[in-house]
Amino acid sequence: MSSVSLPGISGTISLDAPKLPKAIADAAMRSGGYPYDKRLQREAYEEQLLALQIELIKLQKHNLNTGGRILALYEGRDGSGKGSCIKAFAAHMNPRNTYVVALTKPSESERGQLYFQRYAVELPSAGEIVLFDRSWYNRAGVERVMGFCTPAQVAKFLQEAPAFEGLLVRDGIRLFKFYLTIGREMQLQRFHERRQDPLKQWKLSTVDLAALSKYDDYTAAEVEMFRFTDSTIAPWTVVRANDQRRARLETIRHILLAIDYEGRDLKAIGNADPEIIGPPNRLLPNGLDG
């Protein structure tokens, strides 16, 4: 499926068309209640990113020296920019102790294992920082919405995930759970960009295309996911990602502000933007109430 109908827009919108309707392009940045009309200017973005990446080098050194373990999960809407946030974080880090995990669909053997098993083997050891590009929360999102698992499996996952994460945190892992959200028009615009760009078409999977007509289903799934798994010991952090530049900065900044590492420069890190990053009950239209 490469076309979709949106409320208030007549007819269907095709990703194969050279251009999206002007109404979609005009609404994209503000879609989903996004607070800004325009992207952060490139010069300001690059200046802030450089300062944050210098701080990340300090964090990595401190984490290695102290034997710390840092784990960040990047979840969210298809097309929300999870990969670009991870790329900005890891761009100048030593890959020997900071690495990305992006698992493919489970093998036949893995489907017969404990659900968390294949993720557990990727957890950070002493001195490591691990960034998950999607995680065990596949079960609460895409697997649920696309019918790749049963309702009973979803219910079991929602009960067990907080217990699993509690074990990790109590064992000393610093766990960060980011959920990137974008408006429906922005998602459609990004899918269209991928479809039209031969260098980005690999990013647009059949599951992504199917998601075009399931935006509301994903919303219902995320509300229930937050209700069960937004815990005191392992809270979710929502990031409004219509502007990828702001999202990259805020996800990095959030981690730097949370860990007191040697040589930390709070002035260089700056303050979090409460309009962009925060808890689900403040930043999502549905909060935790459905």
Distance CA 229, CA 226 (A): 5
- 14-23, long-range: CB < 8 A, 24+ apart: 15/191, 15/192, 15/195, 15/196, 15/204, 15/209, 16/195, 17/192, 18/196, 20/188, 20/189, 20/192
pLDDT at 289: 42
99 closest CA partner among 115, 87, 116, 107: 87
Three-state SS at 180: strand
12 closest CA partner among 21, 23, 24, 4: 4
Is the CB of residue 56 less than 8 Å from the CB of residue 251?
Answer: no
73 closest CA partner among 254, 286, 261, 265: 254
pLDDT at 20: 85
pLDDT at 288: 47
What's the CA angle centered on 214, arms 212 and 215, to 5 degrees?
80
- Enumerate the H helices of 125-275 as residue ranges: 142-145, 151-170, 184-196, 206-211, 215-229, 244-258, 266-269
Domains and CATH numbers, the chain: 20-103+128-283 (3.40.50.300)
Q: Pull the structure tokens for residue 261.
A: 């590492």
Q: What is the average pLDDT value for the chain, to the nearest integer?
A: 92
Q: Convert the pLDDT of each residue in 47-100 to its tens digit.
A: 999 999 999 999 999 999 999 999 999 999 989 999 999 999 999 999 999 999
pLDDT at 6: 57
pLDDT at 2: 65
First to last CA, the chain: 28
Q: Running along the chain, 290 residues long, what does each successive block of 10 average in pLDDT?
A: 55 77 91 96 98 98 98 95 97 96 92 95 98 97 94 97 98 98 92 84 77 86 96 97 98 98 98 97 65
Kind plus residue range of the DSSP H or E element containing 73 = strand 70-76
